[in-house]
Chain A
Amino acid sequence: MEVERRKFEARQASARDMLRGDLEGADLEKYVEERVVTTTFEKMLNLARANSIFPLTFGLACCAIEAPISIVTARYDLARFGAEALRASPRQADLIILSGRVSIKMAPVVRRLYDQMLEPKWAISMGACSSSGGMFANYAVVQGADKFMPIDMHIPGCPPRPEAVMYGFNKLQRKIIGSPDQGWRRRYNAVGTEEWARGGPASQPSPEAAEAYELARGLTLA
């Protein structure tokens, strides 16, 4: 304890000297070496992305009690991992948690929500139903959500406990820090469907839309 305190005091003293401009030569080199970490911009960007995820406020079935509701409450507190800001619009979210069974009528809606999310985006399939159909092996439920959209993380359970959801969330964070591009656009034949906040091909109107816009503008002015 005493040793720790001495070390702390020494660090404080050197910081004070540095701010005064008294550190020079080898002492300054040592100071910088101790305090500065060098990394690539990509890694730093991924670190920032992984620790400031905005999940979509979205629930499908009984798993929604565990995933978007329980894990943001004080008992579990997803804010510890920087994901407490649930977004009510897919345009502002970058994580969708499929919490429950996806019926064949809901699947196009879910896919549309996913398509509306801005890049980069991730998806968690939570529970047995959205991962494989679960007990609903019948005509009405899609047997696994990755039949119609890419899923980054599957969380088993029926339903998974909030701890399990958070473990899956932490795994997703590790995945984001590691290598974000999983190549799903090639696998799902979706190259060129990215939507970006500004710039990029999807932020421009299509030729048909531009023509219609010009036509409408001319009609209004004339």
Chain B
Amino acid sequence: MPDGPGLELLRGEIDTDAPGAVLATSYEKERAALIVDAARVIDVLTWLRDTPGQGYRFLSSLHVADYLPAEPRFGVHYELLNRERVERLRVKAMLPAESPEIDSCVELFPTANFQEREAFDFFGVVFHGHPELTRILLPEDYVGFPQRRDFPIGGEPVTFTYSEGRYGG
């Protein structure tokens, strides 16, 4: 795991080869993260995978988080792992609420196939270039993206003795 100075050194190296791709860095709770430009996330991932001495060749997780009041709203997280040095690195791309679109990284990491479909299924993030971007867990005819924070949670109110005032008897 790169520590704080190591992360800055890494950023410097990326800036040399792909200027402007990394917008910021973050080092919290011993987790190093690169916040990158969403349009150039494939460049950064390719660089981290293929550059000699880096070797982040394993995508251990791809997931999306919804930071609703914030803008840009959606964060796509790529958890990379270097298996030789057992170093983990997070790459994060922020997407706007109106058009959450990003390039697919299935070409780089085949394991991203199902995980991008899951992210599309629950958050509606569109991955351009994905071979088959359809719903994977929810029914095919489901309407909406239920893991977004503004999606109603569903269910039915149940009247217990203590909640009669809230729901009516």
A-B contact count (CB 8 A): 30
Chain B residues with CB under 8 Å of A143's CB are 155-156
Q: Is the CB of B139 within 8 A of A105?
A: yes
Residues of B in contact, count (CB < 8 Å):
12
Pair B158/A105 contact, Cβ less than 8 Å? no
Q: Would you give the 0/1 interface string for A134-156, flagging 1 where the beta carbon is closer than 8 Å to chain B? A: 00111111010000000000000
Within the assembled complex, what's the spacing in Å between the Cα atoms of A138 and B139? 15
CA distance A133 to B146 in the complex (A): 18
Contact between A137 and B153 (Cβ–Cβ < 8 Å)?
yes
The proximity string for B residues 126-152 relative to A, scoring 1 for CB distances below 8 Å and 0 otherwise, is 000000000001110010001000011
Is A132 in the interface zone, CB < 8 Å from B? yes
A104 within 8 A of B: yes
Q: Are B139 and A133 in contact (CB-based, < 8 A)?
A: no
Cβ contact within 8 Å between A139 and B152? yes
Per the bound structure, the CA–CA distance linking A105 and B152 in Å amounts to 18
Nearest CB of A to B145, in Å: 11
Contact of B52 with A by CB under 8 A: no
User: Which of A132, A137, A138, A139 lies at the interface centre, i.e. has the most chain B CB atoms within 10 A of its CB?
Assistant: A139
Contacting residues, chain A, for B155 (C-beta < 8 A):
133, 136-139, 141, 143
Q: Counting CB contacts under 8 A, is B168 at the interface? A: no
Of A104, A133, A140, the contact of B156 (CB 8 Å cutoff): A133
B154 contacts the other chain (CB 8 A): yes
Shortest C-beta distance, A174 to chain B (Å), equals 29
B102-140 interface with A by 8 A CB criterion: 137-139
Whether B151 contacts A139 by the Cβ 8 Å rule is: yes
Q: Are B158 and A139 in contact (CB under 8 A)?
A: no
A115-137 to B contact mask, C-beta < 8 Å, 1/0:
00000000000000000110011
Tell me the bound Cα distance from A18 to B63 in angstroms.
Answer: 83
A138-B154 in contact given A104-B139, A105-B138, A105-B139 (Cβ < 8 Å): yes
Across the interface, do B158 and A138 meet the contact criterion of CB distance under 8 Å? no
- Determine the chain B residues whose CB is within 8 A of the CB of A139 once the complex forms: 146, 151-155
Is A137 a contact of B139 with CB atoms below 8 Å? no
B142, B153, B155, B158, most chain A CB atoms within 10 A: B155
Shortest distance from the beta carbon of B157 to any chain A beta carbon, whole Å? 8
Which B residues fall within an 8 A CB radius of A? 137-139, 142, 146, 151-156, 158
Question: A137-B156, A140-B138, A143-B155 are known contacts; what are 12 more A-B pairs with Cβ within 8 Å?
Answer: A104-B139, A104-B142, A105-B138, A133-B155, A137-B154, A137-B155, A138-B154, A139-B146, A139-B154, A139-B155, A140-B154, A141-B155
Could you write out 9 A-B pairs with CB less than 8 Å apart?
A104-B138, A105-B137, A132-B158, A137-B154, A138-B153, A138-B154, A138-B155, A140-B138, A140-B154
